[in-house]
Amino acid sequence: MLDARLRQIIDPPLDRIGRGCARLGITANGVTVTGFLVGCGAWAMLALQSYWWALALILLNRLADGLDGAVARHGRITDLGGYLDIVLDFLFYAGVVFFFAVGQPDQALPAAFLIFSFIGTGASFLAFAALAAKLGITTAARGKKSIYYLGGLTEGTETIALFVAICLFPQFFAWLAWIFGGLCWLTTAVRIYSAVQTFRN
């Protein structure tokens, strides 16, 4: 819901950093993979209940996720880069929730519900993008992307806010998971409705 607005704020500084990285020979895929490995460190910290370290590594992962696109725009945009970006993002998101539950097994049920909800948002997002590509439908509302980005109540910005809240207030994980999961299902329903309106003809 907030991604398009946030892009207007974060894109200019990320673009400048991305230009500098590209000049140094740093590749977008390198940034993507490095960011994912940093995210794996966040998983370990969550499992160990080291929530401040987990928060720092989550924010670094998200910084890399924003930076890889800027590097690609000043270097080379590839289909592989777009693929790695989206696949590693979804793995990272699910991993944050799973490894929180590893650290606190008593939170397994709300964690399972949240991952279940991520499946809804992820599937509705990717299926729409696949058909949009087939039909030549494009959008630049969230910047230049490798695939069509269909919006919703729970996008990247809201998910980052959830992860920050989980790290700052782990005692409220269950409430956060149930509420955010419910919002994910609203997002899924809206996306399915959008798909029906777009593709039924």
What pTM does this model have?
Answer: 0.85
pLDDT band at 90 (very low <50, low <70, confident <90, very high): very high
Please state, in angstroms and as integers, the Cα–Cα distance from residue 87 to each residue in 32, 65, 92, 176, following that order.
Answer: 10, 12, 9, 24
Tens of pLDDT, residues 143-191: 555 555 666 778 888 999 999 999 999 999 999 999 999 999 999 999 8
Strand ranges for 86-201 from DSSP E: none
Domain boundaries 3-199, CATH class? mainly alpha
**Domain extents for the chain?**
3-199
Tens of pLDDT, residues 7-27: 666 667 777 777 777 778 888
Asked if 153 and 179 touch (Cβ cutoff 8 Å), the reply is no
Rounded Cα distance between 201 and 198, Å, is 7
Closest by CA to 101, choosing from 119, 90, 114, is 114
